[in-house]
Amino acid sequence: MNYTVKIDTEIKITSLSDLPKLKEMMERAKMKINKSKLARDLGKDRRTIDKYLKGYTPSSSRKRTSKVDEYYNVIQLLLSEESSQTFYYVDCKIKLDN
């Protein structure tokens, strides 16, 4: 017994993150994906399309703290208007310029 199933489904592919859904649907329908056409439509290389179809996910960037962060309060205090350090710096700078 043979069954013929026609699938009329429209999928909008706008980014590389949509490709795994497309791959799953095309595999269920036993159809092949035209990677070159996808690459042209998305403005990417066909090898990039292939990589994302195989399940590639870009690594997220690490959120690192700055080395200066632990000294932020001290720096802010030294640069504030109440700090006498600022006065001495300005005073020395004026003497050197004259």
> Who wins on pLDDT, 4 or 24?
24
Helix (H, G, I), strand (E, B) or coil at 65: coil
Q: Taking the alpha carbons of 74, 78, 83, 85 in that order, is the dihedral positive or negative?
A: positive
The residue extents of the domains of the chain are 1-58, 67-98
Token output for 57: 């996910």
Average pLDDT on 53-72 reads: 84
Residue 97 has pLDDT above 90, yes or no: no
Q: Give pLDDT, residue 49.
A: 93
| In the chain, % of residues over pLDDT 70 | 77
- Residue 35's pLDDT band, with cuts at 50, 70 and 90, is very high
Q: What angle do CA 29, 33, 37 make, to 5 degrees?
A: 145
Instruction: Determine the Cα–Cα distance for residues 91 and 94; give it in Å rounded to an integer.
Output: 5
Assessment of whether the complete model's pTM goes beyond 0.85: no
> Who wins on pLDDT, 71 or 38?
38
30 phi and psi angles, rounded to 5 deg:
55, 45
